[in-house]
Structure 1
Amino acid sequence: MRKGTHVLLEMFGCDPILLDDIRKIKKIYKEAIKGSGLVEVENSFKLHKFNPIGLTFVSLLKTSHVSFHTWPEFNYACLDIFACDEAKKVYKAEKVFLKYLKPKRVKRLVLKRGFITLKNSKGVMNKKI
């Protein structure tokens, strides 16, 4: 049983002015969603601008979510894209963010969520937590 792909990025050495620009960040997000084939839940994009700098946003997708957080004072941003959809859609969206943010260094983690086979699923549903 396959549940989804979750990409987590830590991006270092990004342009601090870009990381604080609501209009440009929202444009990057829209291009990433449209270009990847992921589908945003209507009116789910929520952005918060910190004072004096930095921003965070979260958006629901029909198959999960995207979240993005910036610390312009450290030239740093982090991005999570999780989708119970084709993995290639998640990777396409990720590439759009990387193309525009141009980090000097990236720490990347990919989680394959809910990959259960008959061999490794024995007792999964019966375990007490």
Structure 2
Amino acid sequence: MQALGKHLLVELHGCSPELLKKVDVIKGILVCAANACKATIVDTSFHEFNPFGVSGVVVIAESHISIHTWPEYGYAAVDIFTCGDVIKPDVAVEYIATRLQCKKPSVVEVRRGIMPGHHGKLAHKLSASTEKAVDADQELSLVH
């Protein structure tokens, strides 16, 4: 089955607690991971909690890479959601896990955007003619 996107749910245990506490380190790791997997960075937002822990997201044109850290447990939860076939989210997982000193990341893959009744490859960007057809169908459904 074809899907619009791939969502990786990443569990990182045994990470360096010192690295997980620092917002600038975490931001740098996620930005470099986005670059490593050839994503197009649109924006970033990170927050350091008191007494410790970091949450952040790198918004990419292809979706997002996010993280939440629990330094007291040496744990980080990472989500990597990508659309299209160009981005290699596995590269981002390996980069993040290595930098946070996690030896055995656990990854669950969820296929997102599976369209019922659709066969073949799904387009990630609509052409102008496809967009007009969708708009016309939506307008007709509103009338009826």
Interval containing the TM-score (normalised by the shorter chain): 0.7 to 0.9
In the TM superposition, what is the alpha-carbon distance from 1:111 to its structure 2 partner? 0.7
Which residue does the alignment assign to 2:85?
86
- Identify the residue that residue 55 of structure 2 maps to in structure 1: 56
Identity of aligned residues (%): 34
**Following TM superposition, by how much is the alpha carbon of 1:27 offset from its aligned partner in structure 2, in angstroms?**
1.8
Residues matched between the structures, number: 118
Q: Which runs of 5+ in 2 are unaligned?
A: 120-144
Higher relative contact order (CA 8 A, sep 6+): 1
Q: Which residue is equivalent to 2:26?
A: 25
Q: How high is the TM-score relative to the length of structure 1?
A: 0.81
Any idea what the Cα deviations from partners look like across 1:45-67, whole Å, max 9, x if unmatched?
Answer: 11111001111001221121111
Greater shift in the superposed pair: 107-116 or 75-84: 107-116
Q: Which has the larger radius of gyration?
A: 2
What is the alpha-carbon distance in structure 2 between the residues aligned to residue 106 and residue 96 of structure 1? 11
Report the AA paired with residue 38 of structure 1. A
Residue segments in structure 1 that go unaligned for 5+ positions in a row: 121-129
1:99 Cα deviation (Å)? 1.3
Q: 1:74 to 1:87 in 2, by over 3 A?
A: farther
Letter in 2 for 1:80: D
**C-alpha distance in structure 2 between counterparts of 1:6 and 1:109, whole Å:** 8
Q: Which amino acid aligns with 1:60?
A: V
The aligned residue for residue 137 of structure 2 is: none
TM-score (normalised: structure 2): 0.73
Post-superposition offset of 1:19: 0.5
